Amino acid sequence: LVVRAGPYDEELIKTAQTIATKGRGLLAMDESNATCGKRLDSIGVENTEDNRRAYRELLVTTPGLGEYISGAILFEETLYQSTSENKKFVDVLNSQGIMPGIKVDKGLVPMPGSNGESWCQGLDGLAQRTAEYYKDCAYGLARYAAICQASGLVPIVEPEVLLDGDHDIDRTLEVALEVWAQTFKFMADQKVMFEGILLKPSMVTPGAECPNRASPEQVASYTLKLLKRRVPPAVPGIMFLSGGQSELEATLNLNAMNQSPNPWHVSFSYARALQNTVLKTWQGEEGNWKAAQEALSKRAAANSAAQKGEYDP
């Protein structure tokens, strides 16, 4: 048995543990330019670099955000953007006690011969890119956990099982069990240090079009069953994506999962379930800035309470 010891082991563990601190989770704001464009389009704002920058400034400068948010996942463009007062976003986040992370993949492409599966591009040159990103600051997110760890980045491992479809919750569990078995087998083969990664799974829910809906207690019970069967306790944090759930559903489901003790920090890494109301409130108008930031604080505080199992709607 070879146990790999890398130069960044201690730092990786410290970073992962800092992100997985009680009552905090991740703000996923790593929308690519195209996805960010779709979000802006929904409120009639043009997809220009400056509008994307303004929206992201609104998010990162929300007062007191660090109380609820331990890390923010950025798109590469955002890493080099600054506020209107010329402060780098990365510095603003750090000063709030929020660790900046980065999406390092190069987008999805359809996987030939599969049943509509997608494959992340970007392995070519990933080692070089992660080394460059690390020089600028410490951040995480990776498709390829071992390469990221070798560069000192905590990878956020995200095999997303999409919500689309009319399948029931048992079918979702079956598929997720298979996906996680393979993910952990490959990570073990590649000598990934489990103490220095974070997981970003989808919750186990019925498909979006399934007529049999599930209560938060059912979602929690199925999702915890998945985690207990597949995820070693060495992994410090499970940071769920929201995957198209409503803001309230995502909070209630997380809260239900934290009603009983479990070996991990079970928390959130939501994009849409943190940002939907923020966008609708902002509408691209300077005058709505403060109300939009309050909307973000409200969702972040609700999910912080849910992380502790103390959310009271």
Q: Which residues are catalytic?
A: 158, 200
Residue 264 is a binding residue for ligand 13P (CB under 6 A): no
Residue 226 is a binding residue for ligand 13P (CB under 6 A): no
Angle at 15 between CA 118 and CA 72, to 5 degrees: 55
Residue 142 is a binding residue for ligand 13P (CB under 6 A): no
Q: Distance (Å, rounded) from C-alpha 303 to C-alpha 309?
A: 9
Distance of alpha carbon 21 from the chain centroid: 15
Q: Distance (Å, rounded) from C-alpha 134 to C-alpha 53?
A: 22
Q: Which of 99, 273, 296, 306 binds ligand 13P (CB under 6 A)?
A: 273
Q: In terms of DSSP H, where are the helices of the chain?
A: 9-19, 33-41, 49-60, 76-79, 89-95, 126-136, 145-150, 169-189, 216-230, 247-257, 272-282, 289-307
Structure tokens given for 232: 């070693």
Span interacting with ligand 13P, options 12-20, 79-87, 238-246, 283-291, rule CB under 6 A: 238-246
Residues contacting ligand 13P: total by CB under 6 A? 10
Span interacting with ligand 13P, options 111-119, 143-151, 271-279, 299-307, rule CB under 6 A: 271-279
Judged by CB under 6 A, the chain residues 54 through 113 that form the site for ligand 13P are: 73
Structure tokens given for 202: 């989808």
Residue with smaller CB distance to ligand 13P, 62 or 242: 242
The least CB distance from residue 30 to ligand 13P, in Å, is: 5
Judged by CB under 6 A, the chain residues 26 through 45 that form the site for ligand 13P are: 28, 30
- Nearest Cα neighbor of 182 from 164, 202, 157, 207 is 157
Residue 241 is a binding residue for ligand 13P (CB under 6 A): yes
* Contact yes or no for 47/31 (Cβ under 8 A): no
Residue 243 is a binding residue for ligand 13P (CB under 6 A): yes
Residue 227 is a binding residue for ligand 13P (CB under 6 A): no
Residue 272 is a binding residue for ligand 13P (CB under 6 A): yes
Q: Which of 161, 271, 292, 302 binds ligand 13P (CB under 6 A)?
A: 271
The least CB distance from residue 136 to ligand 13P, in Å, is: 20
Q: Distance (Å, rounded) from C-alpha 197 to C-alpha 199?
A: 7
- Nearest Cα neighbor of 118 from 102, 105, 103 is 105
Which spans of this chain sit near ligand 13P (rule: CB under 6 A)?
A: 28, 30, 73, 241-243, 270-273
